[in-house]
Amino acid sequence: MQFTEEQFAKHMRPINGSAIREIFKLLARPGMISFAGGNPSNTALEPDVISDLAREVLDKYGTTLLQYGATDGFAPFRESAAAFLNTEGVRCEAAEVLPVQGGSQAFDLLLKALVDPGDVVLCESPTFLGAIQAMREYNAKLVAMPTDENGVIVEAAEELIQKHHPKLMYVIPTFQNPTGITLALKRRKALAALASRYGVVIAEDDPYRDLRYAGEALPPIQSFDEEGWVVYMSSFSKYIAPGMRLGAAAVRNPLLLRKMVIGKQSADVHSPLLNQAIVDAYLRKGLMPAHLERICGDYKRQLNAMLAGFDRFPAGTKHTVPQGGLFVWAELPEGADGLEAFNRAVEAGVAFVPGTHFYPDGGHLNTLRLNFSMCDIPTINEGMERLGGVISNL
């Protein structure tokens, strides 16, 4: 007998993977300038530092790092991650930190713990592609919350909560992926209050927080949460190295933490101990502040070059002016076709991600996501020139 699509779980059949992956295949063409990714710059990565730390922790802990570990985490890492999160304004103790395989796994474990098939999950629209896919894989019903230049509109979110009684809301509050928008302070307080009033778990996905190039840091939504409704999901992917696959979730509600641990037990038993120990050592040695200062200086110049490049674009193009993160979001004049622009841009040797892919319900063809972290400034200038030309000729 031959295996067919009919063998898959019903809700999994239409899930065919990230559109971005197909785009990434095009990036291998010679001379292609990529504004498509979401990676840190290679110059932000420190293989020599990681190599020294690997030796140091293997010398220090020996076989402990190679044996099975506890699902709820390597104790020293839970401590140093809690201390790091505290400096971010997150309220948590070491025992409330769950090491995860990047922020993605924290959200996956939350979905596993909470979602019955058909349950509504509220999210921003546009939002992170990986989160859209994760919600679909747990057979959740995605309902988009209206947003503006200050993030989620709280009154609209409240109406949706009253209408749909969701168990879970997914929010990227700082330098959002894909828009670069930051949720305003008042709205952070208000969302925390909504979570508590209506009994909605908020998944606060905040991996870009420390990539700030202007303005003042805002406290996380989690900092206003008195009752443990907000799960704060941090990651070391954008700060240290995505290839290490290590993040930390702060989960103050012990019932919820326990159920996420149970989900992780059967998913992957625990996060690799070597990776936890390396990041632990990185934090304890106090390497993070100077490292962030260095990479933020570089990223700021790259962002400014990209923003300046919009003067090559036709009148009527709007774009965000993010205070940090890795992305700028552009809206072409109504009626412009971003997919067509994408095809022509690739021919002209520059790639981006059409914004439509970030909308749970599609549409919004006139939007684009541009990343600036992976190109140096001359390349950004050249890429914006090419892209501006393509779009002007649409």
Of 112-171, binders to a second copy (CB under 8 A) are 112-117, 119, 130-131, 133-134, 137, 167
Query: What is the closest distance, in whole angstroms, from the C-beta atom of residue 231 to a second copy in the complex?
Result: 11
Query: What is the closest distance, in whole angstroms, from the C-beta atom of residue 46 to a second copy in the complex?
Result: 8
How far is Cα 210 from Cα 283, in angstroms, rounded to an integer? Answer: 14
How far is Cα 323 from Cα 309, in angstroms, rounded to an integer? Answer: 17
Of 15, 26, 321, 339, the residue at the interface with a second copy (CB under 8 A) is 15
Q: Decide whether 24 or 310 has the Cβ nearer to a second copy.
A: 24
Q: Decide whether 272 or 324 has the Cβ nearer to a second copy.
A: 272
Q: Which stretch binds a second copy (CB under 8 A): 33-41, 169-177, 284-292, 312-320?
A: 33-41
Q: Which stretch binds a second copy (CB under 8 A): 105-113, 296-304, 322-330, 341-349?
A: 105-113
Instruction: For residue 311, give both structure tokens.
Output: 């003067």
Of 27, 32, 39, 312, the residue at the interface with a second copy (CB under 8 A) is 39
On whether the CB atoms of residues 235 and 246 are closer than 8 A, the answer is yes
Beta-strand relationship, 247-250 and 318-319 = unpaired
Q: Which stretch binds a second copy (CB under 8 A): 233-241, 300-308, 316-324, 344-352?
A: 233-241
Q: Decide whether 265 or 393 has the Cβ nearer to a second copy.
A: 265
Q: Which stretch binds a second copy (CB under 8 A): 5-13, 84-92, 365-373, 378-386?
A: 5-13
How far is Cα 314 from Cα 286, in angstroms, rounded to an integer? Answer: 46
Question: Diameter of the chain by CA atoms?
Answer: 62
Of 19, 27, 32, 46, the residue at the interface with a second copy (CB under 8 A) is 46
Q: Decide whether 29 or 55 has the Cβ nearer to a second copy.
A: 55
Nearest to 275 by CA among 304, 231, 236, 218: 236
How far is Cα 331 from Cα 350, in angstroms, rounded to an integer? Answer: 17
Q: Provide the H-helix boundaries in the chain.
A: 19-26, 47-61, 75-87, 103-114, 129-137, 154-164, 185-198, 254-268, 273-284, 288-309, 338-347, 377-392
Q: DSSP letter string over 25-68?
A: HHTTSTT-EE----PPPGGG--HHHHHHHHHHHHHHHGGGGTS-
Residues 181-220 that bind a second copy (CB under 8 A): 196-199, 201
Of 26, 185, 255, 321, the residue at the interface with a second copy (CB under 8 A) is 255
Backbone angles phi, psi at 141, to 5 degrees: -95, 120
Q: Which stretch binds a second copy (CB under 8 A): 254-262, 329-337, 345-353, 360-368?
A: 254-262
Instruction: For residue 202, give both structure tokens.
Output: 């908020």
Q: Using the rule CB under 8 A, is 244 a contact of a second copy? A: yes
Instruction: Determine which helix (DSSP H) or strand (DSSP E) holds 319, and give its type and residue range.
Output: strand 318-319
Q: Using the rule CB under 8 A, is 292 a contact of a second copy? A: no
Q: Decide whether 47 or 316 has the Cβ nearer to a second copy.
A: 47
Residues 316-335 that bind a second copy (CB under 8 A): none
Residues 258-287 that bind a second copy (CB under 8 A): 258-259, 261-263, 265-275
Q: What's the DSSP call for residue 127?
A: -
Backbone angles phi, psi at 203, to 5 degrees: -90, 105
How far is Cα 380 from Cα 302, in angstroms, rounded to an integer? Answer: 7
Q: Using the rule CB under 8 A, is 381 a contact of a second copy? A: no
Beta-strand relationship, 147-148 and 151-152 = antiparallel
Q: Decide whether 64 or 393 has the Cβ nearer to a second copy.
A: 64
Query: What is the closest distance, in whole angstroms, from the C-beta atom of residue 394 to a second copy in the complex?
Result: 31
Q: Using the rule CB under 8 A, is 101 a contact of a second copy? A: yes
Write the binding mask 50 to 69 for a second copy: x where contact by CB under 8 A, - elsewhere.
Answer: xx--xx--xx-xxxxxxxxx
How far is Cα 122 from Cα 265, in angstroms, rounded to an integer? Answer: 27
Query: What is the closest distance, in whole angstroms, from the C-beta atom of residue 240 to a second copy in the complex?
Result: 8
Q: Which stretch binds a second copy (CB under 8 A): 76-84, 184-192, 256-264, 286-294?
A: 256-264
Q: Using the rule CB under 8 A, is 223 a contact of a second copy? A: no
